[in-house]
């Protein structure tokens, strides 16, 4: 019994170090809320944030963020397999998020692709993938899977194709970063 408690506490510490919110850590580990909050204060030297987790719709609020979320989900699916669409695969989620952050740093070239998806938003995307609130769709034009949600602010179109249309999908080699999403929303679909 004590070994199980120790293992859950170690898992909680690892999740908190990744930046995961205490409510998620509590849900994943089954530890008491007071203990998880105390661990958070010891690790980070400040009280945990309160408030709601982001929604998938908030994460997919622009074409750039949809492309970024699609990259994360592609890594997560590659590591966790088809089971990721039935239940959250925690180890695959953590590993995919680490790889995603590495790729985001390379691709963003100084943050020009917008803020990275944090571990909490990554968990929300993985959760909503299992419930069907977020869907992987296949783009016939660029032949990739991308993430979409029926009630998000972004269109149910491939974000990579949309970024290519407006010339902002590459940030290296002299191509300017994409500007606002409103201009793209008004354009007819490319598919």
As a whole number of angstroms, the distance between CA 142 and CA 116 comes to: 23
Residues 32 and 97 in one domain: no
As a whole number of angstroms, the distance between CA 50 and CA 148 comes to: 28
Q: What's the confidence (pLDDT) of residue 190?
A: 41
Is 120 a domain residue? yes
Domain hosting 125: range is 56-186
**Which residues lie across from 145 on neighbouring strands?**
138
Estimate to the nearest angstrom the gap between the alpha carbon of 116 and the chain centroid: 8
Tokens of 82: 């088809």
Instruction: State the pTM of this model.
Output: 0.81
Residues 171 and 139 in one domain: yes
Kindly tell me if the per-residue pLDDT of 99 is higher than 90: yes
Backbone Cα Rg of the chain: 18
As a whole number of angstroms, the distance between CA 173 and CA 69 comes to: 24
As a whole number of angstroms, the distance between CA 23 and CA 123 comes to: 12
Residues 16 and 91 in one domain: no
Q: What's the confidence (pLDDT) of residue 163?
A: 85
Residues 68 and 17 in one domain: no
Q: What's the confidence (pLDDT) of residue 184?
A: 32
Total of domains in the chain? 2
Confidence of residue 187 (pLDDT cuts 50, 70, 90): very low
């Amino acid at each position: 019994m004590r070994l199980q408690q120790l293992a859950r506490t170690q898992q909680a510490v690892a999740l908190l170090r990744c930046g995961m919110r205490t409510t998620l850590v509590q849900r994943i580990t089954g530890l008491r809320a007071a203990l998880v909050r105390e661990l958070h204060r010891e690790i980070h030297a400040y009280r945990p944030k309160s408030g709601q987790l982001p929604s998938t719709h908030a994460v997919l609020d622009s074409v750039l963020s949809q492309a970024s979320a699609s990259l994360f989900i592609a890594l997560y699916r590659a590591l966790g397999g088809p089971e990721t669409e039935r239940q959250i695969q925690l180890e695959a989620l953590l590993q995919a998020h680490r790889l995603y952050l590495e790729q985001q740093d390379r691709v963003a070239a100084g943050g020009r692709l917008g803020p990275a998806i944090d571990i909490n938003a990554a968990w929300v995307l993985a959760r909503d993938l299992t419930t069907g609130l977020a869907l992987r769709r296949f783009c016939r034009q660029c032949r990739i899977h991308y993430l979409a949600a029926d009630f998000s602010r972004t269109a149910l179109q491939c974000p990579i194709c949309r970024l290519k249309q407006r010339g902002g999908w590459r940030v290296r080699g002299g191509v300017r970063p994409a500007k606002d999403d409103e201009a793209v929303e008004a354009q007819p679909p490319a598919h």
